[in-house]
Amino acid sequence: MNAERAIIDIGSNTLRLVIFDPPARAPVVLHNEKVTARLGKGVAENGLLTRKAMDVALKALRRFAKLLELRDVRDVQTVATAAVRDAGNGGLFLEAVRACGLSPRLLSGEEEALTSAAGIVGAFPGAKGVVADLGGGSLELVHVAGSRCERGASLPFGTLWLPQLRAVGPGTFARRVKRALVATEWHCTEGEALYLVGGSHRALARLAIHQLNWPLDDPHGFELSLEAAQHICRSALHGGVPATLQGISASRLAALPNTAALLSVLLREIRPSSVVFSAWGLREGLIYQRLDKAEQAKDPLIEGVGAFAESMGCPRETGAMVGQWIGDAAGTQDSAPVNLRPVASMLILVAQRIEPNLRLAHALDWALHKRWIGLEDTGRAMIAACVVGNSGRGEIPDELARVASQSQLHTAFTWGLAIRLCRRFSGLSPVVLANSALTTESGELVLSVHPSFTALLNEGTEKDLRNLAEGLGLQPCVRLRNSESELAA
């Protein structure tokens, strides 16, 4: 049976079809198609969906339905949000959607908010704070705490409404938004973040990345301090938006001052410790909500990188085996997540399966630019440093010092040196790895080897051991195990 699943999102500004492939905990996007219908425009003007907007939407939906039929995708969720919910003729439109062969579900404001928040919980395990999902027809707010999503609310501040709301003047606009927030008691407690969802928010993230000349370019997971976010909003409101910006449409650019005006009020009233931008929201939330508890509890980074590695012919168990073998002898970093070392190992081992001249460039590209759910910018920089260490050539890119500390980068670099030693010495043979060990003892870095495998020791592996020992400030040592000891399986 086809394992692909699809989400059709009938939004106030656009309709989108996204087809996902496993793994369920970190789904891969196979097809992502957007059609601008602006269903909410008529609703904002007279409370009704216009005939023209409905025709555009239904034409797109018929195409979506046919594509899904041809791909034999049977797991399809179709949801409609604010524009259809608020329109006087929304029910008639949904009947027409059903005639396209789809089964639409109209989400209430609270359901929409809670579903977007589920996307944040899935993307950022342990997230604590307020989720703000800005769509064309509404702004959804939800408080998240770990796996809990609480107090969903929908406010009438969608991007299609913002121009006329701001036309009354900045002071009146700010007071109106503030009254709505005060009435619903939205604020962050100390240490909580504001998670921003929606295309308009991601456009603002790209503006920040551009203005800061940030070395990483994925808006997902991009984080700003409260002060930096306020600065970006002020810049967007006072002429700081360029005429063109890669990855942002002209219409999104033109609307950035409106987005910034709303966000500036949210920042003042909600008072988060930081702002985190997310590419995951309602559509991913729909998938996450349907997972059982055991599946939800899985690490999305391990699942995503593991699936990628296996698709390239590298079992994820191999990466875990290498990560365990290099152990603490490769250097530790208390602030580094425990999943970084096996993830870096998997990406490096995958790179070994491609053209040698492309390995370093590809592995760096995967680390720094490929979207991984559950990986923060500091982790990206550390994986990149690990990749450089494994390559045996090159320097850690200078700009990564803006993303991670020198201590973190050095630690990850030594991971790479250790992985290089591991793969070159053992050939990734489980038997060799089970009968050898890398440890630190009394100022020495000790490679213990069963006598049966001494032939694997050569000038190259000894050089790798010396380089790793030097990086750790230790003396290299090769030690033979008891020749009478039995080989481990």
Domain ranges, ordered by start, for the chain: 5-106, 110-284, 300-480
| pTM for this predicted structure | 0.93
Q: Which of 3, 4, 19, 14 is nearest to 283 (CA)?
A: 19
- Same CATH fold assignment for domains 5-106 and 110-284: yes
Q: Quick one: pLDDT at residue 334?
A: 53
pLDDT (average), residues 218-231: 97
pLDDT (average), residues 372-385: 96
pLDDT digits (tens, 9 = 90+) for 158-209: 999 999 999 999 999 999 999 998 887 777 788 899 999 999 999 999 999 9
Query: What DSSP designation does 487 have?
Result: P
pLDDT digits (tens, 9 = 90+) for 39-55: 999 998 899 999 999 99
Q: Tokens for 251?
A: 């219409």
Q: Tokens for 69?
A: 């039929």
Indicate the burial class of 148 (C-beta count within 10 angstroms; 0-12, 13-18, 19 or more).
exposed
pLDDT digits (tens, 9 = 90+) for 383-425: 999 999 999 877 899 999 999 999 999 999 999 999 999 999 9
Length in residues, the chain: 489
Q: Quick one: pLDDT at residue 149?
A: 85
pLDDT digits (tens, 9 = 90+) for 82-107: 999 999 999 999 999 999 999 999 99
Q: Quick one: pLDDT at residue 212?
A: 95
Q: Quick one: pLDDT at residue 234?
A: 97
282 near 116, Cβ under 8 Å?
yes
- In this prediction, residue 487 has a pLDDT band, given cuts at 50, 70 and 90, of low
Q: Which CATH architecture has domain 110-284?
A: 2-Layer Sandwich (3.30)
- In this prediction, residue 485 has a pLDDT band, given cuts at 50, 70 and 90, of low
* CATH code of the domain made up of 300-480: 1.10.3210.10
pLDDT digits (tens, 9 = 90+) for 131-161: 999 999 999 999 999 888 887 889 999 999 9
Q: Quick one: pLDDT at residue 146?
A: 82
CA distance 85 to 356: 55
> Which long-range contacts does 242-247 make (Cβ < 8 Å, 24+ apart)?
242/210, 245/206, 245/207, 245/210, 246/206, 247/206
Average pLDDT of the chain, as a whole number: 93
Question: Regarding the domain delimited by 5-106, which CATH topology (the fold level of the hierarchy) does it fall under?
Answer: Nucleotidyltransferase; domain 5 (3.30.420)
The alpha carbon torsion through 216, 218, 221, 223 (nearest 10 deg) reads 50
Total Cβ atoms within 10 A of residue 289:
16
Taking 80 as the threshold, does the pLDDT of residue 333 lie above it? no
pLDDT digits (tens, 9 = 90+) for 106-123: 999 999 999 999 999 999
17 near 298, Cβ under 8 Å?
no
Percentage helix, strand, coil for the chain under 3-state DSSP, each rounded to 5? 50, 15, 30
Query: Considering the chain, what percentage of its residues have pLDDT values greater than 70?
Result: 97
- In this prediction, residue 453 has a pLDDT band, given cuts at 50, 70 and 90, of very high
- In this prediction, residue 448 has a pLDDT band, given cuts at 50, 70 and 90, of very high
Q: Quick one: pLDDT at residue 147?
A: 82
Indicate the burial class of 448 (C-beta count within 10 angstroms; 0-12, 13-18, 19 or more).
middle
